Copies of this chain bind each other. A is one copy, B any other.
Amino acid sequence: MSIRLLTASAVALGLVAFAPVANAQDAATVDQAIVVRDAAMRSNIAMDYVTQLTTGFGARPAGSRSEQQAAAWAADYLRANGFQNVRIEEFPLVGWERGESSAAIVGDNAQALVAAALGHSPATPRNGVEAEIVRFSTFEDLQAAPDAAVRGKIVYVDLGQMHPMQDGSGYGPQTRVRGAGPGVAAAKGASAFVMRSVGSDEDRMPHTGTTRYVDGKPTIPAFALAAPDADQVSRLVALGQPVRMRLTSTARTYRTTSQNVIGDLPGATRPDEIIVLGSHMDSWDLGTGAIDDGAGGAITVAAAKAIADSGRRPARTLRVIFYGSEEVSQPTPQTGNGGAVYARGQGAALDKHIIAGESDFGADRVYALRLPAGAQGSDFQKAATRVLYPIGVLASDRVETEGGVDVGPMGPLGVPFFGLAQDGTRYFDLHHTANDTLDKIDPAQLNQNVAAWAGLLWLIADSDVDFRAMKPTAPMAR
C-alpha cells in the first residue's frame, strides 16, 4: 500500500516527470492494474460502441461507402472519448461487391440451394454455369485428380463439418480449401468451384470469405454452400446418380479506398513508446460485423478508455487502431490491407512500438494470456497472472508469434505481440455469415474481455517492461 500511496502523492504534487520508473511487477502497478481491471468490467463503453457501430452502418465491406462512413464516425467517437492525434490513414484498394447469386440442383431432384459466392471470386457468365458436379472429400484428392475427371465440371469439395474448438484450431485446414481450391480446380479446367462452408454450425447460412487470386488474377466462380445444403448435395452424390448444378453470380471488383483509424492516449512520461491495440473496421457483407470485428474495436477502445478514466495516465502511449480492409484485401504491389499499410508507414517508429495485440475472435470470454517467447516464466508473466487469473485468464505456455492479420505485418519488423485468447467454441457458428449480428454478443463476456485488456495494458503501459530484451527463463512449449 505504501508504494501506491507514494506514487499517488507524486502525481498529486505534479512530480510525474520525476516519478520512479515502474516495473510491471511492482506491487503498486499490480494493484492499480486490478483497480483498472475492475472498473473496466463495469464499463458500458464496449457495448455502446458496438451497438452504435453495427446499428448505424450495418455491414461494412472493405472499401464500401459504409466502411468509409463508419471510419469517419469512429474517428469522431475516439475524439469524443478523449483520444488525441486522431487521424485517418487512407489507402487504395480493389473492392469486391457480391451482387446477386443463386445456386440450384437442376434436372433430377431439382431444388434451390443456399450458397454464397466467395470473396473476390468472379461473376459467372450472364446465363450462369451449369454442369455435372464432381465431389472430393479431401483437398489432396482434388489436387491428385486427373484433368479429365474435372474438365468442364463443377468441382465440389466437402471436407465434412468443421469441429468447434475453444482455440478455433479446426479452421486452418478448411480455409486452405477456400483460399487455394478454386485455383486448383481452375487449372484443371473446372467450370466452377463449390465447397462446404467453413463453419461449425448446422444453420442454413453460408460462410463467405476470401479466395485467392492466382498470378494476380481471379480464377473461376466459387461458392460456399450452407451446411444443410452441403449435406444434401453429398447425400444425392451418394445415391450414385449424376448431380447437375446451376450457379449464377454477378460479383464484380472495383477501385476504391479503405482506411485505418488511429487514436492515441498519449503516455504521461514516455509518449514515444507505443502499445498498439488492434481490431478491424471492415466486415463481411452478409452480417453486420458484430463479432467480426465490431467486438474487437469495442474491447480495445473500452479498455483504453477505462485506463483514461482511471484518474492516472500511464507512462506509455496506448494507440487504438481500427484497421481497414482486413477481410477482402487482395494485396497488389500498390495496395495492401490496413495492417500492412500501417506497418509500412511507421518506418523507424516501429522500434518504439513496445508490443501489439489484436482482438479479432469474437466477444466470448478470454481464457488465456499469450506472451512473446522471452516473457515465458518471467516476473512480468507472474504479475499479469495476478491481475488476470481472478477473471478466469491463465498464462499460456503457447508463445504469441503472429498477433493476427492486422498487427501481424509488424512482426517481421521486430514488434513483439501479446494475445488474449478468446473462447472460440461458437465463433465459427457465426463467422462470415449473415448471423454475425449484435444479438450474438453476450455483454458480460464482452466486458470480461475489456477487463482483461485493461488490466494487462496497465501493467505494460505504466512500466518499463521491455519484451524485446527478455530471454526465456522457462522451457518453451510448442
Contacts and interface: CB of A to CB of B under 8 A. Distances in A.
A89 to B, nearest CB: 25
Nearest to A113: B58
Contact of A204 (B66, B235, B433): B433
Contact of A287 (B58, B204, B287): B204
A300 B235 CA distance: 24
Interface in A197-218: 202-205
Contact of A235 (B51, B59, B227, B440): B51
What size tier do the contact residues of chain A reach? 20 to 34
Contact of A55 (B57, B58, B235, B433): B235
Contacts of A232: 54-55, 58, 288, 437-438
A434 interface: yes
A439 interface: yes
A58 B103 CA distance: 13
A389 to B, nearest CB: 33
Contacts of A114: 434
Given A235-B51, A235-B55, A228 B110 contact: no
A435 B434 CA distance: 13
A112 to B, nearest CB: 7
Given A110-B66, A111-B66, A235-B51, A202 B440 contact: yes
Interface in A212-251: 227-228, 231-232, 235-236
Contacts of A437: 202, 204, 228, 231-232
A34 to B, nearest CB: 35
A54 B111 CA distance: 10
Contact of A109 (B56, B203, B204): B56
Nearest to A234: B55
A231 B439 CA distance: 8
A55 B439 contact: no
Interface string A432-473: 011101111000000000000000000000000000000000
Interface in A156-210: 202-205
A186 B195 CA distance: 44
A228 to B, nearest CB: 4
Contacts of A51: 235
Nearest to A109: B56
B110 A203 contact: no
Contacts of A231: 437-439
Contacts of A110: 58, 66
A440 B227 CA distance: 12
B109 A438 contact: no
Interface in A8-34: none
Given A58-B109, A58-B111, 10 more contacts: A51-B235, A55-B235, A55-B236, A58-B105, A58-B112, A59-B111, A204-B435, A204-B437, A228-B437, A232-B288
24 contacts: A54-B232, A55-B109, A55-B232, A55-B236, A57-B109, A58-B109, A58-B110, A58-B111, A58-B112, A58-B232, A59-B111, A59-B112, A111-B288, A202-B437, A204-B205, A204-B287, A204-B433, A227-B439, A228-B435, A228-B438, A231-B438, A231-B439, A232-B437, A232-B438
